[in-house]
Amino acid sequence: MQIDKIHGKNMELTSAIEDYVEKRVSVLRKLVKRMQPAKISVEVGKPSDHHNKGDVYYAEFSADVKGEKFYASERAESLYEAIDKVQASIKRQIVDWKKKGDAKTKKQGRSWKSFMRFGNK
């Protein structure tokens, strides 16, 4: 999975933040290593400059895997916590999508095996 862009809103992106995002995306890379093309866009930041309390930071991942689109957005009090949450959310979406495809393939295989064994009845 290739990182298309990392964008920071209302804050400056440091190398530590970029390294942390890269580390989190590497987990997703392992999930889709045989499914190319795969790209992801990342946006992190603060919704506004005047926020003092509550969920101050947010992270958004937008992924495109073999033409299938995935999107997740999370808010948290810490930027790193928001990145962790959004990574878990998009990982869940990709895993569910892969399982759905595997189930469809198995079902088609069962029906083909039945046809080959008993013919068309």
Residue with tokens 């989190």, as numbered in its chain: 24
Confidence of residue 98 (pLDDT cuts 50, 70, 90): confident
State phi, psi for 76 to the nearest 5 degrees. -160, 170
Question: What is the set of domains in the chain, with CATH numbers?
Answer: 2-118 (3.30.160.100)
Question: Residue 48: what pLDDT?
Answer: 78
Q: Which residues pair with 75 in a beta bridge?
A: 58
Average pLDDT over residues 108-117: 74
| Residue 105 zone, left/alpha/beta (φ > 0; ψ -120 to 50; rest) | alpha
pLDDT of residue 63: 92
Task: Write down the pLDDT at residue 114.
Answer: 74
User: What mean pLDDT do residues 74-85 have?
Assistant: 93
For the chain, the average pLDDT equals 86
Rounded percentage of the chain residues whose pLDDT exceeds 70: 90
pLDDT greater than 90 at residue 108: no
User: pLDDT by residue (tens digit) across 8-62?
Assistant: 998 889 999 999 999 999 888 888 888 878 899 999 998 876 766 666 899 999 9
